[in-house]
Structure 1
């Protein structure tokens, strides 16, 4: 389902950003694999109505992977059984990388890097009960120290089909620079494909591949305000202003389709990013913060970009 020989590009799961409209835009403009925002297995099992909206996928998304987080074996099993009933999902990714205290306090996300035996049990549970084609794990280099080889090995032994590695420890959060060479330790220790993640952009993508020795790249924050980054990496050249404008307007239409009128206000955070580096960006941001009408917003976007 994923051809790793072609060094595919993944969109990283990002809370508040990699929603259906954004995924649909990057799918139209160069990304190979999309992953949902992180879904709490507890929320899925116990408050499913709210969470089900986050599981909707765009027509173009193939393969579409849903990322879940959690630390309770029974709850994760129930979450997997629920996802089995959704035919449009191609794979389940297990989050062992989220560094935020709200998640780690529940022994989930990157907290599992301190207990590789527990991590193995949870990945094995997903593998055992999932009817999806793909089971994967996303993790960091370690909790306080770096031991990506041990983590990758644990994932492989538990049945993961591939892993994605963010080039920082949990302790580092998002500070410093992602260590792609340490990701290569994970790659050397397993026989399954490894995806490199962390600080990758259009300018350094080839360097990230050569230093990490990985089979694919996963891009997160660098795509916010620049969803055309996937085209730039694939084509090796910058995207012109006309195409950027087309992508921004496409994104706006996708937001309206998915969120209806609420999409106008939600889209402001994206426009703040899109306008970076443009002349008069500050006054543009102040202006769009006051616009609540679809046609006025569309017109303002067309004029500004």
Structure 2
């Protein structure tokens, strides 16, 4: 098996619009143990959406690699799993039961599944039965409106989930409520399968603190990695501070991967990343204005080297 739970697992969370192949390959090269695709609609998979299949493509560096699916119809999910069986290089299927977005919830998917634990259990059993991948994992919240996470993880364990990632808020908590790490700790104590902690893990020290407190088997980091993908390097190397040369190396690697994957237009797409990378640097607003006008990859690379290398 490719995943070793004998030491903390560092996982990149799926984030729509950010954790595409270039970003995932960068964090993978610099310390992440596991990367997961952006959330994929099981319906889109079954209806052979070209865009969806493009989103599933992975970098050769991504090993192990999971695809995260969302859905609420058992038959559609079964068909989606069969489609994924035909694709090599996927090590696991992760079921999204955490997404709080209204349009996902309205379809009975994402965190809405936490309202119907019988259905959730059947869907996990379906994935487990039909998937030929090594792992079936589930990403959840503490509950829909109330915290019943212990009940949820016990059901997931008995339904065949190999491990569970817990975002420490309920669906009603959105992204604003404070994260309940105590609840993650209780969930960890209540089952034998590994538990990954998630929610507001914004830096190296917070990751260490959450692992220590919850005794979780790993941490999943999402927004904490945007603009700071070196958080995985820090965790792997045990370093609280990152040398500016390492930061520049990571930013340039990300830029290279964007151009490689998207072609020249990758330079324009990279602007939003440079906005987050430059936060806290002196002269950042002038730098942002300048790169907003650049379309040419060669010119942009020079600007990146000048600004982050100084």
TM-score by length of 1: 0.98
State the Cα deviation string for residues 157-177 of structure 1 (Å, max 9, x = none): 111000000011100111032
Q: Deviations over 1:105-146 (max 9, x none)?
A: 100000010110110011111001000000000000111111
* Mapping for residues 27-176 of structure 1, pairs under 5 Å: 27-176=28-177
Deviates more, 1:108-117 or 1:182-191: 182-191
Tell me the secondary structure at the aligned position of residue 107 of structure 1.
Answer: coil
Measure, in 2, the Cα distance between the counterparts of 1:120 and 1:64. Answer: 24
- State whether structure 2 residue 278 is matched by structure 1 residue 275: yes
C-alpha separation in 2, matches of 1:227 and 1:183: 24
1:188-209 deviations in whole A, cap 9, x for unaligned? 1211000001111212112101
Deviations, residues 204-261 of structure 1 (Å, cap 9, x unaligned): 1121012212111111111000110011123232110011011101100000000112
Q: Tell me which residue corresponds to 1:177.
A: 178
Residues 53-88 of structure 1, C-alpha deviations (whole Å, 9 max, x = no match):
001011111110000000011110010000001111
C-alpha distance in structure 1 between counterparts of 2:48 and 2:92, whole Å? 22
Q: 2:49, 2:91 → 1: CA distance?
A: 20
For normalisation by structure 2, the TM-score amounts to 0.97
Do structure 1's residue 7 and structure 2's residue 8 form an aligned pair? yes
Q: Distance in 2 between matches of 1:90 and 1:48?
A: 22
Runs of 4+ in 1 over 4 A off after TM superposition: none
SS in 2 for 1:59: coil
The number of aligned residues is 305
Residue 189 of structure 2: SS of its match in structure 1? Answer: helix
Unaligned stretches of 5+ residues in structure 2: none
Q: 1:112-261, aligned counterparts within 5 Å?
A: 112-200=113-201, 201-237=203-239, 238-261=241-264
What SS is found at the alignment partner of 1:246? helix
What secondary structure is seen at the aligned counterpart in 1 of 2:270? Answer: helix
Structure 2: how far apart are the matches of 1:176 and 1:275?
28
Report the secondary structure of 2:164's partner residue: strand
CA distance in 1, matches of 2:69, 2:186: 25
Structure 1: stretches of 5+ with no match in the other structure: none
- The separation in 2 between residues aligned to 1:189 and 1:76, in whole angstroms, is 28
Compute the RMSD of aligned alpha carbons.
0.9
Q: Take 2:131 and 2:48, find their aligned partners in 1: how far apart are those partners?
A: 21
CA distance in 2, matches of 1:288, 1:278: 15
User: 2: distance between equivalents of 1:44 and 1:287?
Assistant: 40
Aligned-residue offset at 1:46: 1.1
